[in-house]
Amino acid sequence: MKKILSLIAVLAVALTLSSCNCFKKMAKDPAAIQVSCTPEVLTLNNGKIVADITASIPAGYFNKKAALKVTPVLFFEGGAVAGETLLLQGEKIASNGMVVKSKEAMSITRRVEFDYQPAMDACALKLLVEVKCKSGKCKEFTLINANNGAILSQNQLAILATNGNAAYTLKNECGLQVAVGLNTLQKDIDFAVAMAPEANNYRNVTTSVVTADLVYKINSSKLAKKATATDEVAALKASVESNLQNDRASQTVYVNGYASPDGPEKFNDKLSSKRSQSGLEAVQELLKDTGLNIDAAAYGEDWDGFKAAVAASNIQDKDLILQVLSMYSSAAEREKEIKNLASVFGALKTEVLPQLRRAQIVNSIDLTGKTDAEMVALINAGNASELNLEELLHIAEVQPAVAEVALKAAVNKYGDARAYNNLAIVLAKQGDYAGALKALDSAAKAGSKSEELNNNYALVYLAMGETDKAAEYAKGANAEVKALAAAAKGEYNAAVNGLEGYNAAIAQVQQGNLAAAKKSIEADQSAKADYLRAVIAAKEGNVTAAKAALQSAIAKDASLAKKAAKDVNLAALR
């Protein structure tokens, strides 16, 4: 530890002049007692500010009748927080303090710990010293100015008794500074950037299919007039005509010819081809006013249709039939074995096979959805309710400017767990961690048990400084979240290999690996990355580069000017 002051040496010289006789002998060796603080620049870690203060007292130095009260106090703008007072007393003092034996050397280390407050970003750790000596002016513990050893005047003692702002200022002036500034880089870790959205099912082009069957008699390719007069065919025609009026729809109509698998395979191949042609002619007549080009194809024996029809039927032995189908790859073998099942073949002939003698009309419709610009326009006009759930989830992902409005519309209208999870990310990036946590709770209530939700819970709790709660979720989280949990506890060596980009650079700066930190953010041109470049340059002693990086950061985010004014890492720029 670096020697930063000789506390009692300062006191001894001044107090001797003030007739505090206990310190007269101690003044002869003004550098004997050494006091140091680790770290000299305080560091924020896991919501705490911790420092170790050490005093070394040589043998034969401390007066047997002398007593000192030393209180560590963290002073910051608008406030002060006191640590535990240490009472040091000579061997002839009857009290409950720490006895400093006159013939023994002592090294005393005391840890001080303060709960972090944002106002502490600019702070100083100081020691308030009270002295007592049976002979002289300090028969009771008296606060002295620890910088020069002066005993307070009556006027100053009166000010001290008020406990007001003036008393706070006086104590600050009397305190001996042992550490200055607070390194708050840990607070700059971006937990929200690691939060993961849940995926949406949005497709700009969706495909739907409408079908209708034109049914033939056995072994025939001649289509009866009534074959096109069914409700199914009428519905398909209506679908085609409706989509012609929709400029977002494109459609393809084709006719597939099939034969039932109960005859010779070659015969059925020819039969399905003839049915596709006669079916095509019928459909062309049916849709002649649409202007559509219609294609036709033949598929021979319809074994897929046969399996589907059997599975959907009420035939008692349908499972046996399906088992037979799975045993043979040859169509001829399958047909032979099924015909051998005399007990069921009669049901197949009446219930299943007739519906497979067909030409199937297929209308495949591609519907193109709204463009991103159209969705944004609807949201900006207050008409987000005109978008469906998947559209809202999609536009929130690709257009951050409208993400919050889109996701709030999604949760209000649909109560969707994915929307709640993704809204939590938007709120966390705004710094609204309480709102983010509430959104995650709503996602859980809506039934989400996703990996993304678990990870996001951990990250929001980390951002809120609740590392114990975060740890429960971090157990099942991905590597990046676990690394961030380590960084939040100051375990930068464990964290750095699991991080990348800006967060890796934060950990590397805290490790003192400035070269690696610069490389981690070399492609990042954000305001926060520029600010971190300024910190790195300042630590390297390159004030010119630090000023340039800070100016760039403030040009991108003016709020960083206020941060820089208090940042101990940029003290060299001030």
CATH code: domain of residue 429: 1.25.40.10
Whether residue 443 is contained in a domain is answered as yes
pLDDT per residue as tens digits for the range 215-268: 999 999 999 989 999 999 999 999 999 999 999 999 999 999 999 998 899 999
Given a cut of 70, whether residue 30 has pLDDT beyond it is no
- Comparing CA positions, the residue from 222, 322, 319 lying closest to residue 279 is 222
Whether residue 482 is contained in a domain is answered as no
Q: What is the rounded CA–CA span in Å between residue 9 and residue 2?
A: 17
Residue 165 sits in the same domain as residue 274: no
**Residues 406, 396 contacting (CB under 8 angstroms):** yes
pLDDT at 25: 64
More confident residue, 234 or 8: 234
Given pLDDT bands bounded at 50, 70 and 90, which one contains residue 59?
A: confident
With a pLDDT cut of 90, the percent of the chain lying above it is 74
Given pLDDT bands bounded at 50, 70 and 90, which one contains residue 21?
A: low
Whether residue 127 is contained in a domain is answered as yes
pLDDT at 142: 85
Residue 441 sits in the same domain as residue 494: no
Given a cut of 90, whether residue 523 has pLDDT beyond it is yes
Q: What is the rounded CA–CA span in Å between residue 362 and residue 90?
A: 102
pLDDT per residue as tens digits for the range 166-212: 999 999 999 989 999 999 999 999 999 999 999 999 999 999 999 99
Residue 237 sits in the same domain as residue 105: no
CATH number at residue 292: 3.30.1330.60
Given a cut of 60, whether residue 11 has pLDDT beyond it is no
Say how many C-beta atoms besides its own lie within 10 A of residue 88's C-beta: 20
Residue 194 sits in the same domain as residue 309: no
| Domain span including residue 28 | 7-183
With a pLDDT cut of 70, the percent of the chain lying above it is 93
Residue 83 sits in the same domain as residue 149: yes
Cis peptide before 30 (omega within 30 of 0): no
Kindly report the average pLDDT of the chain as a whole number: 91
What would the mean pLDDT of 18-46 be, rounded to a whole number? 75
The one-character DSSP state at 464 is: T
Residue 69 sits in the same domain as residue 212: no
Whether residue 469 is contained in a domain is answered as yes
pTM given for the model: 0.78
- Please state at what angle helix 318-327 crosses helix 331-340, rounded to 10 degrees: 150
- Total structural domains within the chain: 4
Whether residue 374 is contained in a domain is answered as yes
Residue 12 sits in the same domain as residue 130: yes
Given a cut of 80, whether residue 539 has pLDDT beyond it is yes
Sole residue written with tokens 């996602």: 443
Say how many C-beta atoms besides its own lie within 10 A of residue 84's C-beta: 10
Whether residue 2 is contained in a domain is answered as no
Residue 412 sits in the same domain as residue 431: yes
Of 183, 215, 234, the residue at which a domain comes to its end is: 183
Q: What is the rounded CA–CA span in Å between residue 332 and residue 263?
A: 9
pLDDT at 505: 98
Any idea which of 197-201, 311-315, 487-491, 543-547 has the lowest mean pLDDT? 311-315
Given pLDDT bands bounded at 50, 70 and 90, which one contains residue 24?
A: low
Residue 55 sits in the same domain as residue 161: yes
Whether residue 300 is contained in a domain is answered as yes
pLDDT per residue as tens digits for the range 62-117: 888 888 899 999 999 889 999 999 999 988 888 888 998 888 888 899 999 999 99
Any idea which of 99-113, 262-276, 331-345 has the lowest mean pLDDT? 331-345
Residue 128 sits in the same domain as residue 54: yes
DSSP calls for 206-265: EEEEEEEEEE--TT--PPPGGGG-SHHHHHHHHHHHHHHT-TTEEEEEEEEEEE-SSS-H
Whether residue 458 is contained in a domain is answered as yes
Q: Strand locations in 332-479, DSSP E?
A: 358-368
User: Which is it for strands 249-259 and 358-368: parallel, antiparallel or unpaired?
Assistant: antiparallel
pLDDT at 322: 87
Residue 418 sits in the same domain as residue 357: no
**Residues 191, 515 contacting (CB under 8 angstroms):** no
Any idea which of 259-273, 283-297, 329-343, 484-498 has the lowest mean pLDDT? 329-343
Q: What is the rounded CA–CA span in Å between residue 420 and residue 407?
A: 7
Say how many C-beta atoms besides its own lie within 10 A of residue 147's C-beta: 16
pLDDT per residue as tens digits for the range 484-522: 999 999 999 999 999 999 999 999 999 999 999 999 999
What would the mean pLDDT of 282-297 be, rounded to a whole number? 95
More confident residue, 29 or 381: 381
Q: Residue 515, exposed/middle/buried by CB under 10 A (0-12, 13-18, 19+)?
A: exposed
Residue 214 sits in the same domain as residue 195: no
More confident residue, 138 or 426: 426
